[in-house]
Structure 1
């Protein structure tokens, strides 16, 4: 199998996924399926890689999805994405002598925090000066009215 092919879907796991998406326990799911289903039979079904077409249709009806959706569902792209992000050949942790994923960072986050704090102090001082100017103006206007 090449890396471009997706592995064949494990239908039992896919049924389990959609059952859990519907917040159904195995027992509640068995009740919805009706006789002769039981919790044990649902458990056995979820362990099967292949499921008969008529059974899959019945399950799909109860889960309100099509049987094709159950057949085609796969978690492989998610796993592949995680592997690409953390174990890929372009990961910076594997390059540059294992110095971590932030190697090559061009700024110090603490410096940026200090810069932001200094900017806040300047803005605060400007607001205080503006407030004082308005107070002086209002006092002058009150003096003129008297």
Structure 2
């Protein structure tokens, strides 16, 4: 049975959110300080105590309302909003185009660092010459 046929099955919603967060039952159990078997039992339960639901929501990084109102259709619609209708490619809302060549910027930085190093080296040479001059005078 899917979440669509039993829209109020909190356990399945928790399971699906956990999977979407790329979290294993063991990780969720550890975050809650309970066993993996308890997580399995929670995910198989149609209802859950409010206090436990609050703890689970916090461990999953979502709100209690997000768990209660979770639906597969809602997730599909949410991700479809990121599709750029101008392109056939999905770019997840990133419509920024790079106006410079990153390699050129990197090479500029390398050249700048090289110039700074040469200036530092020249300064150190001048310092050494000055100190040698002072030593010769004494």
TM-score by length of 2: 0.53
Distance 1:102 1:64 in 2: 37
Question: Gapped runs of 5+ residues in structure 2?
Answer: 1-6, 19-24
TM-score by length of 1: 0.51
Task: Pick the aligned partner of 2:98 from 105, 108, 113.
Answer: 105
| CA displacement at 1:128 relative to structure 2 | 0.6
Q: Deviations over 1:48-98 (max 9, x none)?
A: 5x41xxxx33x735x77399x98524367xx57x7268x4236xxx44x86
Which residue of 1 is the match for residue 79 of structure 2?
Answer: 83
SS in 2 for 1:118: helix
Q: Matched residue pairs, number?
A: 108
Which residue of 1 is the match for residue 125 of structure 2?
Answer: 132
Distance 1:15 1:108 in 2: 45
The structure that has the greater radius of gyration is 1
Residues 14 and 43 of structure 2 are in contact (CA less than 8 Å); yes or no, is this contact kept in structure 1? yes
Which residue of 2 is the match for residue 47 of structure 1?
Answer: 44
RMSD, aligned α-carbons: 4.2
Q: Deviations over 1:79-118 (max 9, x none)?
A: 57x7268x4236xxx44x86x8687321011111111111
| CA displacement at 1:143 relative to structure 2 | 1.0
